């Protein structure tokens, strides 16, 4: 793994890698026993502190189309957010 690229790219961001073992050359690594449990705990901690509403769109077909429709309707009355894919 080319750790130089990752360290340079995220140098100024407030972030941390959540890993189950130390990785040589990777800074800001939070080493935990179970990464899934750690991320679930972090999400729970953030969710408790955020007072907004959450709507999840799930399923195997039509999510993108419907998500756009829901966002359009809801944005008339409230601030809405969107997860940006990669």
pLDDT digits (tens, 9 = 90+) for 16-60: 889 999 999 887 888 999 999 999 998 898 888 888 887 777 888
Instruction: Let me know whether 2 and 14 are in one domain.
Output: yes
2 against 30, higher pLDDT: 30
In whole angstroms, what is the distance from residue 31 CA to residue 23 CA? 9
Instruction: Let me know whether 63 and 44 are in one domain.
Output: no
Residue 40 has a CB neighbour count (10 Å cut-off) of: 11
Q: What is the pLDDT of residue 73?
A: 92
In whole angstroms, what is the distance from residue 86 CA to residue 83 CA? 10
Instruction: Let me know whether 61 and 44 are in one domain.
Output: no
By residue range, what is the domain housing residue 26?
1-49
Q: What is the pLDDT of residue 7?
A: 62
Residue 85, domain member (yes or no): no
Average pLDDT for residues 65-86, to the nearest whole number? 83
Split into its structural domains, the chain has a count of 2
């Amino acid at each position: 793994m080319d750790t130089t690229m990752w360290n340079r790219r995220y140098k100024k961001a407030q972030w941390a890698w959540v890993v189950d073992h130390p990785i040589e050359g990777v800074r800001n690594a939070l080493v935990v026993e179970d990464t899934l449990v750690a991320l679930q705990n972090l999400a729970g901690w953030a969710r408790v502190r955020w007072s907004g509403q959450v709507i999840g769109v799930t399923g195997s077909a039509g999510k993108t189309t419907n998500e756009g429709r829901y966002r359009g309707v809801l944005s008339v009355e409230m601030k809405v957010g969107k997860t940006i894919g990669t």
